[in-house]
Amino acid sequence: MIKPSENKTLSAEHEAASLRSLFPKLTLIRLLIAWSVVVVFAIWGKQWLAEPFDNTIAVICFMVLFATIVMASFGVVGEADHLAHQLGEPYGTLILTLSIVSIEVILIASVLLGPGEFPTIGRDAIFSVMMIILNLVTGLCLLVGGLRYREQEYNAQGSVSYLSLITMLTGLALVLPNYVSGAGEFNFIQAIAFSAITIVVYAVFLWMQIGNYSRLFVQPVSGCMAVPAGGASNTVQQDDAPSVPDKRAILIRSVLLIAMILPIVLLAHDLAILIDYGIETVNAPVALGGVLIAIIVFTPESITAVKAALNNEMQRAINLCLGAFVSTVGLTVPAVLIIGFVMNKTVTMGISGFETILFLLTVALTAFSFIGQRTSPIQGVLHLALFAVFSVLLFSA
Query: What residues contact residue 297 under an 8 Å CB cut-off, 6+ apart?
Result: 73, 100, 101, 103, 104, 107, 129
pLDDT score of 135 more than 90: yes
Instruction: Lowest mean pLDDT of 121-135, 272-286, 370-384, name the range.
Output: 272-286
Q: Which residues of 386-395 are buried (b: 16+ CB within 10 A; e: fewer)?
A: bbeebeebbe
Q: With contact defined as beta carbons under 8 Å apart, do 299 and 73 qualify?
A: yes
Amino acid at site 135:
N
pLDDT score of 60 more than 70: yes
Supply the pLDDT for residue 224. 45
- Mean pLDDT in residue range 19-33: 78
3-state secondary structure the chain: CCCHHHHHHHHHHHHHHHHHHHCCHHHHHHHHHHHHHHHHHHHHHHHHCCCCCCHHHHHHHHHHHHHHHHHHHHHHHHHHHHHHHHHCCCHHHHHHHHHHHHHHHHHHHHHHCCCCCCCCHHHHHHHHHHHHHHHHHHHHHHHHHHHHHCCEECCHHHHHHHHHHHHHHHHHHHHCHHHHCCCCCCCHHHHHHHHHHHHHHHHHHHHHHCCCCHHHHCCCHHHHCCCCCCCCCCCCCCCCCCCCCCHHHHHHHHHHHHHHHHHHHHHHHHHHHHHHHHHHHHCCCCCHHHHHHHHHHHHHHHHHHHHHHHCCCHHHHHHHHHHHHHHHHHHHHHHHHHHHHHCCCCCCCCCCHHHHHHHHHHHHHHHHHCCCCEECHHHHHHHHHHHHHHHHHHHHC
Max avg pLDDT among 62-76, 273-287, 378-392: 378-392
Max avg pLDDT among 91-95, 139-143, 158-162, 275-279: 139-143
Supply the pLDDT for residue 49. 84
- Mean pLDDT in residue range 161-190: 91
| pLDDT digit string, tens, across residues 88-113 | 666 767 777 787 788 888 878 877 77
Q: Domains in the chain, please, with CATH?
A: 24-396 (1.20.1420.30)
| pLDDT digit string, tens, across residues 238-293 | 444 445 567 778 888 888 888 988 898 888 888 878 888 888 888 888 788 888 88
Local confidence band at 225 (pLDDT 50, 70, 90 cut-offs): very low
- Mean pLDDT in residue range 215-224: 72
| Spatial separation of the C-alpha atoms in residues 133 and 142, rounded to whole Å | 12
- Mean pLDDT in residue range 26-54: 89
